[in-house]
Chain A
Amino acid sequence: MILVITETKLTAPGKFNPASLEAVAAAQQLGAALQLPVAAVVLGADDAALAGELATRKLAKVVRLQNPALGAYNPDVWVQSLVQAVSQLQPRYVLFPHTYQVRDYAPQLATRMAGALISDVTGFRVENGQPIFLRPMFQGKWAAEVAFTANSAPGFLTVQIGAFRGDQAEAGAAAAPLETLAVTPGPSPLHAGEVFQEAKQAVDLTQAPIIVAVGRGIKEPKNLDLVRELAAALGGELAASRPICDSGWLPMDRQIGSSGQTVAPKLYLAVGISGAIQHLVGMKGSRTIVAINKDPEAPIFEVADYGVVGNLFDVVPALVTALKNQA
C-alpha cells in the first residue's frame, strides 16, 4: 500500500493546501505504476472537511487519526501519531506534500521508523519493478535519481509543490470508505505558543499615489517620527533609501531603489536623500519629485521638480504645520 499523509492546515479561510491533492495525484500515479493501492491519512484540526473531499478521489480508504491532542500542530504529537498509524497500516511508501509543516516533522518521523526520506520529489520512473525517484539538486540544475535500498521499508517521500497537478488526482467510481484510527501520542514537552504569522504582504509602494521617502540625513531612528508625521499629514506612504533599511530603522520592504522597489507615484517627497544613482533608478519616474536636502550639490536635485535647500529638521516641521493649518 501507498499512504499519503495530507495536511489539514488551511492556506486561506476554507481553503485546503492544494499540495495535499498534488501528493494524492503523485501517489495515485506511483500506485498505478507499481500496482499498489493508495490510502490517505488525515490528521489535525478540521480534518472532517478534507477527509470528505478526499473520499471523492480514487483511494482504497481515507483514514482519520483521532486524538484530542491533534487539535493543534505539535511535531511530537504528529510524529508519535504517525508512527502508530504507519506501523498499523504497513505501507510500502509514505508520501507527504513538501510543506513547511512536513519539513518540520517528516525527517523525525522517518528517523524514528528507521526509514529513509527522499525529499522534494519531482517525478519517478520504474525500472525492474523498482521506482527511481527524481529530485532537484544544485537549485534545479540537475535532477538526481534516487532509489530506496531494498531493506529501507517503508520509504518516505515528500512531493515538491507544483511537480504534480492536483486536478489530476483521479476521482473514484464510488466514495472511498472513511475509517477512523484512534492514536495515543504521549505527552510532549513542547507546548504551542502564538501561531507564527507568516510575513505579512509586503507593503506595495508601487500603488501609493504619495510617497515620503527618508534618507541618511535623518541621522537617528528616533527622528523618523518627524517624517512619519509628514507622511501622515500628506496621506502618503513612508519609504526610505537603502542606508535606512540596511540599518534596520525601517523594514526592507520600504526600500526604494535598485535593491528595493521601483515606484512612480504622483508625488515623491525625498527628505535627506542625497540621490545616489541606485536610489534614483527606483523613483525617477515619479510625476512630481520634491527634494529637501541641505547640500545644494546633492544629485537628488538633478531629478527634482522642486527643491528645498535646507535643514530637514527646520523644513519638515514647518511643512507639517502648514499642512495641518490647511486641513
Chain B
Amino acid sequence: MTHPEMQADVVIVGAGPAGLACALHLARLLDARGLSKENIYVLEKGRALGAHQLSGAVMDPRGLEELEPGFAGDPELGALPVKDDALLVFTENHAVRSPVTPPPLHNHGNYIVSLNRLAQWLGAKVEALGVNVFTSFAGRELLFDGPRLLGVRTDDKGVGRDHQPKANFEPGYDLKTPIVVFAEGTRGSLAKQLLGHLRLGGENPQVYSLGVKEIWDLPAGRFPAGRVYHTLGWPFPTDLYGGGWIYGLRDNQVSIGLMTALEYRDPATDPHNLFQAFKTHPFMRELLEGGEMARYGAKTTPMGGWYAHPPLAGDAWLIVGDSAGMVNSQRLKGIHLAIKSGMLAAESVFETMTGQGSLRGYPAKVEASWVREELWKVRNFHQGFEHGLWAGLFHAGVQQVTGGRGLRARYPSQPGPARMRKLGTLGDPPLMTPPDGKLTFDKVTDVFHSGTRHEEDQPCHLLIAEMDICNERCVREYGNPCVSYCPASVYEMVIGDDGAPELHLNPSNCVHCKTCDIMDPYANITWVPPEGGGGPSFG
C-alpha cells in the first residue's frame, strides 16, 4: 500500500496542554521573526479539540501564566479560583478532616479548570495563528531509517474489521519531518514505539495510577464552587496507594474521582469498582444524595517522577508533558509542567529551525527551569510508597527535610505489573460493590456517560500478541486481570464454542485510558489508536 507523502517542518503529536503550548509558543516565536508556520502540523486523535482531555483538574497557574498572562480573567476559559481546601482521611464509616492540610495539597492560588475547555481555548489560539491542527487524525506509526526518525504516519481511514479497505478507504499520510514533538499524553503509543525502537528508557521504570472520575449534578448549595477536598484511606487497604478527590465546580456540579496506583498485588483489583465503593462511604453518600451522575471518564497518569523520565530528546525528536512523565506526584499536578515543557520544547524547535541550536538542547532547558526545581524535590516521593502507606509517609517525611533525597539518592522501583501476584497466593479476593443504578454504576453505564463512540467496523485497536496466553495461561495464573482493571468493559471472558472461557474484546467501549497497555502481566496487550475521531467525548 502506498501512502501520500508530505513534507513538514514540525509534527506535534497530540493536542493536549503540552502539544498546544508547544504549538502556540513556537508560532509566536516564528511570527516575531516573520518565519513561516505553514508546515507545522498538530495531530489529534480526538474528533474535536479537547475530546480526549481528562483531568480532575486543579491547575497550578505557573505554566499557563507564562504562556497566557492574565488567563484567569478570561471568561472563555472559565478558570475557577480554589477558595478552600482540606484533606479528609476516610475510615470505613467515618471521615476525619485532617487538622492541617499538608503543604503539597495546599491549593490556594490554584484554579479548577476543565482540561477539555483548556484544550479548546488553547487550540483556538493556535489555529488563529495559522497552525494546522488536524483533529480526527492519529499518529499511527513512526517512519524510521535504522535509528533515524523520518516522520509520522497518520491512521488509515475506512479499513474494515477484516483489515480490508472499505468503500470510504483513505490511506494515512506519511508526514516526513526533521522534528517530531511527542505530546501524546499518558503512555503515548508513538513515544512507546520510539523508545522501544531506540531501546531507551528512564533510570526507573515509569509507573502509573488510574483515575476514574464522574461529574455529578447536585442539589443547589450542597458543595460550593471552588472547594477542593482530597481523601486518603478507605476504600484502599494500606498496602495500596491511592486517593480520592472532590472538586466543587460551577453550576452545582462536582468532579469526584479516585486514583488507584497500577502497582497492586491482587490481580482482581478493580479501580472502577473501588471508585463505586468510594461513593458508598457515608460522607460521599450524603454528598451525592439527590444528585445525578452526568459524565464519566478514566485516564492513567504517570507517577514515577524525575527518575522515570525517558531521555527527552534525540536528533529529530522531543518528548513533552505526560508522555515524558512530567507530573508532580506529591502534589498531583502536571498541567503546569506539561505547558512549561511544551514551551521549552518550542524554544528548542525554534532554535533548531533557525540554525541557532539543536533539539539536544531541550533537556538542558528543562534542567535549568523550574520544572526540574519542582520535580527534583519530589524525585523519590512516589517510590517511597512502594511498601505501603505507613512506610511512604515516613519516607515522605525524611525526603521533606533532605530536599527530596530521603534515605538514598535514588529510590529504585519496579514496573507496576511486576508486583502482581498469581492466583492462590493471596487471601480472599477484594469485595465488590454491586451497582444500584443510582449511586453506583456498572462499567457500561459509566462508559455511556463518557460519550464514547468508535466506528464499529474497524480492526481491533487492542493488539493481543498471543491470544493463547490470555485463554490458557493468564486464565490460570492471574484470572485475566484485564477484565478487572479495564474501567470500560473492553475485556470480558465469555464461554467459547468448546465450553472453555475465552477472551472477548469490545474495543468500541475503549475510553483511551491506556491501563491495559500498562498493566498486563505478560505485556501481551498493545494499545494503538483506533481510526481517528473514535474515542470518548470528555467535556
CB distance from B155 to the nearest CB of A (A): 11
**Counting CB contacts under 8 A, is A278 at the interface?**
yes
CB distance from B450 to the nearest CB of A (A): 11
Q: A252, B456: Cβ atoms under 8 Å?
A: yes
The 8 Å CB contact of B134, one of A141, A258, A278, is: A141
Chain A 121-141 interface mask (CB, 8 Å, partner B; 1/0): 000000000000000011101
CB distance from B49 to the nearest CB of A (A): 13
**Counting CB contacts under 8 A, is A259 at the interface?**
yes
The 8 Å CB contact of A276, one of B134, B170, B445, B508, is: B445
**Counting CB contacts under 8 A, is A317 at the interface?**
no
Q: Which chain B residue has the least Cβ–Cβ distance from A248?
A: B161
Chain B residue contacts of A281, Cβ below 8 A: 448
Total A-B Cβ pairs within 8 A: 32
**Counting CB contacts under 8 A, is A52 at the interface?**
no
**Counting CB contacts under 8 A, is B500 at the interface?**
no
Q: A276, B456: Cβ atoms under 8 Å?
A: no
Chain B residue contacts of A246, Cβ below 8 A: 456, 506
Chain B residue contacts of A299, Cβ below 8 A: 437
Q: How far is it, in angstroms, between the C-alpha of A68 and the C-alpha of B448 when the chains are bound? A: 58
A259 and B508 contact, Cβ closer than 8 Å, known pairs A139-B170, A252-B456, A277-B448: yes
Chain B 480-502 interface mask (CB, 8 Å, partner A; 1/0): 00000000000000000000000
Q: A139, B157: Cβ atoms under 8 Å?
A: yes
Q: B453, A259: Cβ atoms under 8 Å?
A: yes
Q: How far is it, in angstroms, between the C-alpha of A131 and the C-alpha of B312 when the chains are bound? A: 46
Q: How far is it, in angstroms, between the C-alpha of A276 and the C-alpha of B437 when the chains are bound? A: 11
The 8 Å CB contact of B167, one of A100, A252, A258, is: A100
Q: How far is it, in angstroms, between the C-alpha of A276 and the C-alpha of B157 when the chains are bound? A: 29
- In B138-181, the 8 Å CB interface with A consists of 157, 167, 170, 173
Q: Which chain B residue has the least Cβ–Cβ distance from A299?
A: B437
Chain A residue contacts of B448, Cβ below 8 A: 258, 276-278, 281
Chain B 324-365 interface mask (CB, 8 Å, partner A; 1/0): 000000000000000000000000000000000000000000
Chain A 175-191 interface mask (CB, 8 Å, partner B; 1/0): 00000000000000000
Q: How far is it, in angstroms, between the C-alpha of A277 and the C-alpha of B452 when the chains are bound? A: 13
The 8 Å CB contact of B444, one of A100, A141, A142, A276, is: A276
Q: How far is it, in angstroms, between the C-alpha of A137 and the C-alpha of B167 when the chains are bound? A: 17
Chain B interface size, under 10 / 10 to 19 / 20 to 34 / 35 or more: 10 to 19
Q: How far is it, in angstroms, between the C-alpha of A199 and the C-alpha of B170 when the chains are bound? A: 20
Q: Which chain A residue has the least Cβ–Cβ distance from B456?
A: A259
A278 and B456 contact, Cβ closer than 8 Å, known pairs A139-B170, A246-B506: no
Q: Which chain A residue has the least Cβ–Cβ distance from B497?
A: A220
Chain A residue contacts of B456, Cβ below 8 A: 246, 252, 259
Chain B residue contacts of A277, Cβ below 8 A: 444-445, 448
Looking at chain B's contact residues, the main secondary structure is: mixed
CB distance from B123 to the nearest CB of A (A): 14
**Counting CB contacts under 8 A, is B440 at the interface?**
no
CB distance from A17 to the nearest CB of B (A): 15
**Counting CB contacts under 8 A, is B53 at the interface?**
no
**Counting CB contacts under 8 A, is B315 at the interface?**
no
The 8 Å CB contact of A138, one of B173, B437, B444, B506, is: B173
Chain A residue contacts of B157, Cβ below 8 A: 139
- In A254-285, the 8 Å CB interface with B consists of 258-259, 276-278, 281
Chain A residue contacts of B120, Cβ below 8 A: none
**Counting CB contacts under 8 A, is B275 at the interface?**
no
Chain B 123-143 interface mask (CB, 8 Å, partner A; 1/0): 000000000101011000000
Interface size in chain A (residues, C-beta < 8 A): 15
Q: How far is it, in angstroms, between the C-alpha of A138 and the C-alpha of B132 when the chains are bound? A: 11
**Counting CB contacts under 8 A, is B457 at the interface?**
yes
Chain A residue contacts of B437, Cβ below 8 A: 299
Chain B 443-478 interface mask (CB, 8 Å, partner A; 1/0): 011011000010011000000000000000000000
The 8 Å CB contact of A139, one of B136, B167, B506, B508, is: B136
Q: How far is it, in angstroms, between the C-alpha of A276 and the C-alpha of B446 when the chains are bound? A: 10
Chain A residue contacts of B173, Cβ below 8 A: 137-138
Q: Which chain A residue has the least Cβ–Cβ distance from B437?
A: A299
Chain B residue contacts of A142, Cβ below 8 A: 132
Q: A278, B457: Cβ atoms under 8 Å?
A: no
CB distance from A325 to the nearest CB of B (A): 35
Chain A residue contacts of B170, Cβ below 8 A: 139
The 8 Å CB contact of A278, one of B4, B137, B444, is: B444
Q: How far is it, in angstroms, between the C-alpha of A100 and the C-alpha of B508 when the chains are bound? A: 29
Q: B134, A252: Cβ atoms under 8 Å?
A: no
Q: How far is it, in angstroms, between the C-alpha of A246 and the C-alpha of B507 when the chains are bound? A: 11
CB distance from A221 to the nearest CB of B (A): 10
Q: How far is it, in angstroms, between the C-alpha of A276 and the C-alpha of B508 when the chains are bound? A: 15
Q: How far is it, in angstroms, between the C-alpha of A276 and the C-alpha of B445 when the chains are bound? A: 7
Q: Which chain B residue has the least Cβ–Cβ distance from A219?
A: B495
Q: How far is it, in angstroms, between the C-alpha of A281 and the C-alpha of B444 when the chains are bound? A: 13
Q: B445, A138: Cβ atoms under 8 Å?
A: no
Q: How far is it, in angstroms, between the C-alpha of A138 and the C-alpha of B457 when the chains are bound? A: 20
Q: Which chain A residue has the least Cβ–Cβ distance from B489?
A: A276
CB distance from B514 to the nearest CB of A (A): 22
Q: How far is it, in angstroms, between the C-alpha of A138 and the C-alpha of B448 when the chains are bound? A: 29
Chain B residue contacts of A252, Cβ below 8 A: 456-457
CB distance from A156 to the nearest CB of B (A): 16
Chain B residue contacts of A100, Cβ below 8 A: 167
- In B364-411, the 8 Å CB interface with A consists of none
Q: How far is it, in angstroms, between the C-alpha of A11 and the C-alpha of B445 when the chains are bound? A: 44
Q: Which chain A residue has the least Cβ–Cβ distance from B170?
A: A139
Chain A residue contacts of B167, Cβ below 8 A: 100
Q: Which chain B residue has the least Cβ–Cβ distance from A258?
A: B448
Q: How far is it, in angstroms, between the C-alpha of A259 and the C-alpha of B508 when the chains are bound? A: 9
CB distance from B432 to the nearest CB of A (A): 15
Chain B 1-29 interface mask (CB, 8 Å, partner A; 1/0): 00010000000000000000000000000
CB distance from B364 to the nearest CB of A (A): 35
Chain A residue contacts of B132, Cβ below 8 A: 141-142
- In A93-141, the 8 Å CB interface with B consists of 100, 137-139, 141
Chain A residue contacts of B136, Cβ below 8 A: 139
Q: How far is it, in angstroms, between the C-alpha of A154 and the C-alpha of B444 when the chains are bound? A: 57
Q: Which chain B residue has the least Cβ–Cβ distance from A136?
A: B170
Q: How far is it, in angstroms, between the C-alpha of A137 and the C-alpha of B134 when the chains are bound? A: 11
Chain A residue contacts of B137, Cβ below 8 A: 138
- In A139-181, the 8 Å CB interface with B consists of 139, 141-142
Q: B134, A138: Cβ atoms under 8 Å?
A: yes
- In A276-323, the 8 Å CB interface with B consists of 276-278, 281, 299
Chain B residue contacts of A141, Cβ below 8 A: 132, 134
Chain A residue contacts of B506, Cβ below 8 A: 246
Chain B residue contacts of A258, Cβ below 8 A: 448, 453
Starting from the known contacts A100-B167, A278-B448, 12 additional A-B residue pairs (CB-CB under 8 Å) come to: A137-B4, A138-B137, A142-B132, A246-B506, A252-B457, A258-B453, A259-B508, A276-B445, A277-B444, A277-B448, A278-B444, A281-B448
A-B contact pairs, 22 of them (CB 8 A): A100-B167, A137-B4, A137-B173, A138-B137, A138-B173, A139-B136, A139-B157, A139-B170, A141-B134, A142-B132, A246-B456, A246-B506, A252-B456, A258-B448, A258-B453, A276-B444, A276-B445, A277-B444, A277-B448, A278-B447, A278-B448, A281-B448
Which 9 pairs of residues, A with B, have the shortest CB-CB distance? Answer: A277-B448, A276-B444, A277-B445, A138-B134, A278-B448, A259-B456, A141-B134, A259-B508, A138-B137
